[in-house]
Amino acid sequence: MAEFVSIDGARLEYAWHGPPPADAPTLVFLHEGLGSISQWRNFPAELCSRVGCGALVYSRWGHGKSDALTAPHGIRFMHDEATAVLPRLLEVFGIRRPILVGHSDGASIALIHAGSGGDPFAMILEAPHVFVEDVTVTRIAELRDLYRTTDLRTKLGRHHSNVDTLFQYWTDVWLRPEFRGWNIEAYLPEVRCPTLVIQGKQDEYGTHRQVDTLMSALGDRCESIMLDQCGHTPHIDQRAAVAEIMARFIHGLE
């Protein structure tokens, strides 16, 4: 059964796994652009059990069973999540040692948070976006066509109460001409925490340039792994390997 927390007037769906924040670090799962709690499947619960951490998993505004969006996304929608919503969630749940586990848009949100005054204990980033690439825009345009012509709407509808609004607002903002200039490289010098980056070699939404940029900016604070036979969702495409890689990284934190 879904549980809910109100953040700045919006009711957000969440789930908690494992020990409370006072007893261990907390993995905070930040889903992809069309993601939700249910699309993580049981990966968060299994990972937190494996490493002895707590885990907060939530669906952002407009996603999953959270309240429906009331207006289209602005081009700084990930910034808003990173600098307003996420800090409030950490405060409400009393999370003092967050390990941000971000996927795609969620990974970008984690980076903005860490680079704009947030202080995560560590970050694990799957398929992060640091800037907009042609391959990303092309794939999202293809996705919009598939939504109209295939059963994609039905599949996504299993995970989202307001799927049409979510899909329209998310694809629209990524495909706006002004969004092509979206870039968060300026935040990277302020990222101080240990960071693990995981990306699939066959990622259909981004290239190795995203990883290379992070490695160059973060230096020895960052470890990266490129996985073969893996697309945009490593924790599903290479579940066992990703769980092992993440667990090793978490166990190695001081």
Where are the chain's structural domains? Answer: 3-251
Four-point Cα dihedral 138, 141, 142, 143, nearest 10: 120
E-assigned strand segments in the chain:
3-7, 10-17, 26-30, 54-58, 98-103, 122-126, 195-200, 222-227
pLDDT tens for the 254 residues of the chain, in order: 679 999 999 999 999 999 999 999 999 999 999 999 999 999 999 999 999 999 999 999 999 999 999 999 999 999 999 999 999 999 999 999 999 999 999 999 999 999 999 999 999 999 999 999 999 999 999 999 999 999 999 999 999 999 999 999 999 999 999 999 999 999 999 999 999 999 999 999 999 999 999 999 999 999 999 999 999 999 999 999 999 999 999 999 97
- Compute the distance between CA of residue 147 and CA of residue 152 in angstroms, rounded to an integer: 5
Provide the token pair at 192: 């101080």
pLDDT at residue 135, as a whole number: 97
Global pTM value:
0.98
DSSP state of 73: P
Alpha carbon distance 91, 5 (integer Å): 12
How many other CB atoms are there within 10 angstroms of residue 6's CB atom? 11
- Closest to 55 (Cα-Cα) out of 31, 29, 32, 81: 29
Long-range contacts, 157-160 (Cβ 8 Å, 24+): 158/38, 159/35, 159/36, 159/38, 159/39, 159/64, 160/34, 160/36, 160/63, 160/64
Q: Please answer whether residues 222 and 195 qualify as being in contact, where contact means their C-beta atoms are separated by less than 8 angstroms.
A: yes
CA 169 to chain centroid, in Å, comes to: 17
Question: What pLDDT sits at residue 28?
Answer: 98
The residue type of 72 is: P
Confirm or reject CATH 3.40.50.1820 for domain 3-251, answering yes or no. yes
User: Residue 1 has what pLDDT?
Assistant: 65
Q: Which of 133, 125, 134, 136 is nearest to 218 (CA)?
A: 125
